[in-house]
Amino acid sequence: MSQSRYSHAAESPKSRFIPKDFSTASSIIEKCLKGTAAEKLDAISKLHHLCKQLSMARNSKCEPVPVALLVSMRLLLCDREKGVRTQTLRALRYLIQTPEAIRGMSRVNIPVFISRSLEREPRYMWERMQALKFVRHLMEIDASQMPRIIVQSLVSIAQHTEDDFRKVSIDTLRELAIAHTGIVASCNGIKTIIDAILDEKLQDISGSLTVTLLYILDHESTRCHMRPSLDIQRLLWVFSDTDSPDSETKQSQREAAQKALVMILRSWTGILCLASDDFGLKSLVRILALPPTVKGASWARDAIFDLIFEILDVVKVPDSGHKRSSGPNLLYNYI
């Protein structure tokens, strides 16, 4: 008796995503497509609450989301009313709960409309926010199935310096680069992360971005996605760029690059990466050999020496030319 009671509880409507619920959602969508603006908002609100309840009742044996339902919701994502699009994104976030649902969503090209919502004008803030929440929700389910078009939208937003969602897009790219490095690298996301490290407006997250690069370099499965002599070496160009005039922006980039290089070169991974590349540490050593008559050579030499002293935890004593250690010398870690 107890066994049949438990089996009956397992088949209760509260623990299964039954087809009747799908038909209810479809009927709500039909009303939403045919109604007025007020009726649309009322219907889409009901759809959101229904999908939220269904997501709380689903289990690992839930039935797949019907393609017809996804197609109907796709129509709502291109509705004229921004409130309808926003609520549809919320409902879709509760509806997509499994990797199979992500694949079904991709087959009906819903990621195209998600990308469209992400790249809308700033006045559509709530719609963009819901689209970004949906993207992060996909990462939690299965980052390996992240659609390429969504990653391209994140990279585009991250490269736009005046976008309000730039920082959160870069942080999303950073997390995705750890979970699925290949898709980020193929969309030029690694370069975007490195450019963000040099940005003076993003210095509060530059440390976490640098650690992400070290993580990628530290694993053989992800290291192959880094482009030799092009990615990490972008942090060195501020020391070799002696032709462009000095400015506050260039000075801030120098400070950001020095901070990132110190963090990288204080790890075995960073040392091996930069020392094994002809355009890495060797290029900095060549700058030290430039004659003083070369424009900017004196500054570059002093900057490189400051970088080396900071890596080795050595402090120059003013007006004496001598150096003293401010703490445990980094050389002790390697000798």
**Per-residue DSSP letters for 53-112?**
HHHHH--TTPPPPPHHHHHHHHHHHT-S-HHHHHHHHHHHHHH--SHHHHHHHHHTTHHH
Q: What is the reported pLDDT for 11?
A: 39
Residue 120 maps to a domain: no
Residue 265 maps to a domain: yes
Q: What is the reported pLDDT for 7?
A: 39
278 and 164 part of one domain: yes
Q: How many residues does the chain have?
A: 335
57 and 21 part of one domain: yes
155 and 207 part of one domain: yes
Residue 305 maps to a domain: yes
156 and 265 part of one domain: yes
54 and 170 part of one domain: no
Burial class of residue 149 (count of CB atoms within 10 Å of its CB; 0-12, 13-18, 19+): middle
Enumerate residues 6+ apart whose C-beta is below 8 A from 285.
Answer: none
Give the number of domains in the chain.
Answer: 3
Enumerate residues 6+ apart whose C-beta is below 8 A from 68.
Answer: 26
Residue type, 285: V
User: Vertex 169, ends 239 and 97: CA angle to 5°?
Assistant: 145
Residue 167 maps to a domain: yes
Residue 155 maps to a domain: yes
Q: What is the reported pLDDT for 59?
A: 47
Residue 231 maps to a domain: yes
For the whole model, what pTM was predicted?
Answer: 0.80
The residue ranges of the chain whose pLDDT is under 50 are 1-19, 59-61, 315, 317, 319-335
Residue 134 maps to a domain: no
Q: What is the reported pLDDT for 3?
A: 43
Enumerate residues 6+ apart whose C-beta is below 8 A from 123.
Answer: none
Q: What is the reported pLDDT for 22?
A: 57
Looking at residue 317, the DSSP 8-state letter turns out to be: P
Residue 124 maps to a domain: no
Q: What is the reported pLDDT for 37?
A: 67
150 and 56 part of one domain: no
151 and 104 part of one domain: no
Full domain range(s) for residue 191: 146-238+249-283
310 and 259 part of one domain: no
